[in-house]
Amino acid sequence: MHLSNGSRWFLRLGTAFTLLFIYFPIAVIVLYAFNSSRIQTWPIPGLTLDWFEKAANNPGLRDALWTSTQAALGATAIAMVLGSLAAYAVARYRFFGRETISFLVILPIALPGIVTGMALNSTFTQVLGIDLTLFTIIVGHATFCIVVVYNNVVARLRRTSVSFEEASADLGASGLRTFWLVTFPQLRSALIAGALLAFALSFDEVIVTTFTAGDGETLPIWILNNLSRPRNLPIVNVAGVVVILLSMIPVYLAHRLTADPVASGR
């Protein structure tokens, strides 16, 4: 496509500006994690690895990391099962209300987080009368994680042909055997990608979690609670870097697993 030099430069500058805007704050927080001073001012006087050691030995932070890991694993497991069941039904069957399923799955993430959080909170505390624990965190996270697994699996099922499954059935394989030997291998990378995204989404979530966590602290909640304690800020920086890594790496891997090699030019 023909573009004038002026337009070309405008687009390049605009792109560079937006990229800088996106990554500048992330770079700043990573740099602060190595700040040798306890006080969060700029410029930083020097670099140190001390805070990483202090963070590794901080019991509150370790507990929060463990709670977050359990919550993310639990939510991912539930979302994997529910998301793929719904995806298989929508992609391979025709039935009344099929459109509604897609809508229902997306709703927990389309509505403002505070609404989802409050709704679950009132059900747990007012109707069911149960305490807010790790279990309630997992229920909340699983609800909004279903959509990422569902989306990945539906997209994959729509791209893979039904004829393989039909051929397998014609050759006498049972439904279960067809699923295990034909459908599942085609879905595998989409399932892993969905799981990785669900893990990242759960690991990072804070708004719904504040309503469903009770006294338990997930990593983001630990960060939130410690922002008001200046003494702990150096460790918060380190926790921030951990969250950045643990939520960005799965997203990157998921993208690699599902990227269409032709479209991405590789």
Partner 1 sequence: MGPGLDRGEGLSTAATHGRRRLQLGLLLSAPVGWLVVAYLGSLAVLFVAAFWQLDSFSGQIVHSWTTSNFETLINGDVYRTIVFRTVGIAAAVTVTCALLSFPIAFYMAKVATPRVRNVLVVAVLLPLWSSYLVKVYAWRTILNENGILNWLLDPFGLSGPGFGLVATWLVFTYLWLPFMILPVYAGFERIPNSLLDASGDLGASAWRTFRTVILPLVFPSVVAGSIFTFSLTLGDYITPSLVSSSQFIGNVVYSNVGVANNLPLAAAFATVPVIVMIGYLIGARRLGAFDSL
Report the 10 Å Cβ neighbour count for 241: 19
Of residues 125-184, those binding partner 1 (CB under 8 A): 125-127, 139, 142-143, 146, 162, 166, 175
- Out of 101, 173, 192, 253, name the contact with partner 1 by CB under 8 A: 101
Q: Which among 109, 126, 123 is positioned nearest to 208, based on CA atoms? A: 109
Q: Considering the complex, what minimum distance in angstroms separates the CB of residue 5 from partner 1? A: 11
Q: Considering the complex, what minimum distance in angstroms separates the CB of residue 47 from partner 1? A: 16
Q: Considering the complex, what minimum distance in angstroms separates the CB of residue 159 from partner 1? A: 16
Nearer to partner 1, 94 or 231 (CB): 94
Q: How far is residue 32's CA from residue 5's CA, in Å, rounded to a whole number?
A: 40
Q: Considering the complex, what minimum distance in angstroms separates the CB of residue 15 from partner 1? A: 4
Of residues 12-31, those binding partner 1 (CB under 8 A): 12-15, 17-19, 21-26, 28-29
Q: Considering the complex, what minimum distance in angstroms separates the CB of residue 19 from partner 1? A: 6
Of residues 179-238, those binding partner 1 (CB under 8 A): 197, 200-201, 204-207, 210-211, 220, 223-224, 227, 236
- Out of 49, 107, 167, 181, name the contact with partner 1 by CB under 8 A: 107
Q: Which among 189, 168, 192, 170 is positioned nearest to 179, based on CA atoms? A: 168
- Out of 47, 49, 89, 181, name the contact with partner 1 by CB under 8 A: 89
Of residues 233-262, those binding partner 1 (CB under 8 A): 236, 240, 243-244, 247-248, 251-252, 255, 259
Contact between 108 and partner 1 (CB under 8 A)? yes
Q: How far is residue 211's CA from residue 200's CA, in Å, rounded to a whole number?
A: 19
Of residues 31-60, those binding partner 1 (CB under 8 A): 32, 40-43
- For residue 25, is the peptide bond before it cis, meaning its omega torsion is within 30 degrees of 0? no
Nearer to partner 1, 107 or 181 (CB): 107
